[in-house]
Amino acid sequence: MTSVPPVPPSVAIQRRFDRIDIYLFDQLARGRFDDRRRVLDVGCGDGRNLHYLLSCDYHCAGIDRDPRAIDRMRSAAQVLGHPGGLDRFVVGEADALPWADASFDVVICSAVLHFAGDAAHFGRMITEMWRVLAPNGLFFARLASTIGLDGFADAAGQRVRLPDGSDRFVVDEAMLLEWTARVGGRLADPIKTTNVQGERCMTTWCVWK
């Protein structure tokens, strides 16, 4: 009898969770999505952070400026048993969300805010995402920052050329704390930053409403 080789862990994990952001996975594992089942992904792309949630019958929505990504997102939702995604997965901008106030229990914004054109644009995106987040909801963001990055002490609130060659709108700890207070939220976790060999820094910012 020929034995079936075991599925490698990496394959099993990807089959189950797709390519979900590891820092978002941490929030899931800590139970923060257990009772928050209405989820919006702003800048959802083709849905890597939503596929697992859709497979668990969460009510998911997403917006992205790339029509091709939204087409792929709608197709994936249909495969996962969620047809009719025309009104839930839409082409649009993060600073003009087409949903009513308090429509979602979680708003995900992973690697999007650092594409802001300037401080005003950044502020509009934050304000819009906060508007559609329900009371006691969770706002989860990953974005480029200057925290721990040498030579960028005065760069927060501007677009800059990072050592990795990318142009990003960057924030620092003070700016994130100021915005947390401005919207009336409270940190769900201490602000955490990953420094990628001094080439760029990515910060995880989680806020309760």
- CA separation for the pair 56, 140 (Å, rounded): 19
Residue type, 144: A
pLDDT of residue 120: 97
Whether the pLDDT of residue 86 is over 80: the answer is no
* DSSP conformation letters of 142-207: EEEB-TT-TT-TT-TTEEEE-TTS-EEEEB-HHHHHHHHHHTT-EESS--EEEEETTTEEEEEEEE
Identify the CATH number of the domain in which residue 113 sits.
Answer: 3.40.50.150
SS3 label, residue 140: strand
89-116 tens-digit pLDDT: 999 999 999 999 999 999 999 999 999 9
End-to-end CA distance of the chain: 58
> Is 14 part of any domain?
no
> Is 11 part of any domain?
no
> Is 142 part of any domain?
yes
Whether the pLDDT of residue 37 is over 90: the answer is yes
Q: Tell me the backbone φ, ψ of residue 48, rounded to 5 degrees.
A: -60, -30
**pTM across the whole model:** 0.93
The gap from C-alpha 34 to its chain's centroid, in whole angstroms, comes to 18
- CA separation for the pair 37, 160 (Å, rounded): 37
Average pLDDT (45-55) is 94
> Is 179 part of any domain?
yes
Q: How many domains does the chain have?
A: 1
Inter-residue contact 95 to 113 (CB < 8 Å): no
Host domain of residue 115: 21-208
> Is 183 part of any domain?
yes
